Amino acid sequence: MNPEINKEKVETLYESRFLKCFDLQYAEGKHYYVASRRDREDLAAKKTDEEFRSMLPDAVTIAVVLHLPGDETRLLMSYEYRYAVGQFLLSPVAGLLDPEDREADNPLVTAAVREIREECGLTVKESDRITVLNPCAFSTPGMTDESNAFLCAEITLDNLDDLNQNGAEGSELFDGFELLDRERAQEIFRTGRDEHGNFYSLAAWMVLSLYLSMF
């Protein structure tokens, strides 16, 4: 049996502003269901090989590393309310690509700079450095084609005066920051739990891993 879907037989089962559900028919009478943020014609499953390999992700996730006075280096994370689990979870800076980001010369870096400003109150300077570590990684491709780019932003600060969460938009809810040194990051990474004993997302685990492997 050829497992490839029939790109012409994709049925929309549910559609809202932020989430859609599709039926991907891969054989006569055989169906696979996928949740996506994308419109029907922009689904990853419908793309040609060339389109697939050049596609932009849905979102960016950023390991924000602060270089502070006294040569202190900290990984900046926050507690963000995640509705699907009903808890404030330890979270990296992250967000969807806006249409304006997609039109920029460097969409991923443009989106990262904007998200850092909105979620942390920090303005990325020319002397700071943002690196794209992975341009497009699928979250859970067994049930969704949602994808994230992973970036690292190194920001040098004289103090923490500008750090704030006043830029929350829409349904976003935040409850403070965590500035993790290597010892605390290693403990959270090793145990899979934050300082409150709660679990966290795979994206948070990846950002902790990036920080511990790079700094």
Q: Domain check: are 49 and 77 in the same one? A: no
- Which residues are CB-neighbours of 41 under 8 A, at least 6 positions away? none
Q: Domain check: are 68 and 46 in the same one? A: no
Residue 2 lies in a domain: no
The Cα 164–Cα 179 span in angstroms is 13
3-state secondary structure 181-196: CHHHHHHHHHHCCCCC
Residue 78 lies in a domain: yes
Quote the domain boundaries for residue 154.
Answer: 59-214
The Cα 186–Cα 34 span in angstroms is 35
Q: Domain check: are 189 and 208 in the same one? A: yes
Task: Give Dmax (Cα) for the chain.
Answer: 65
Residue pLDDT, tens place only, 129-144:
999 999 999 999 999 9
Q: What is the CATH number of the domain that holds 151?
A: 3.90.79.10
Number of domains present in the structure of the chain: 2
pLDDT attached to residue 3: 60
The Cα 210–Cα 49 span in angstroms is 29
Q: Domain check: are 47 and 71 in the same one? A: no
Residue 35 lies in a domain: yes
Beta-carbon-side half-sphere exposure of residue 16 (alpha carbons within 13 Å)? 3
Average pLDDT of span 184-198: 97
Residue 201 lies in a domain: yes
Residue pLDDT, tens place only, 10-25:
999 999 988 999 999 8
Residue 3 lies in a domain: no
Residue 167: CB atoms within 10 A of its CB come to 15
What's the whole-model pTM score?
0.93
- Work out the percent of the chain whose per-residue pLDDT is above 90: 87
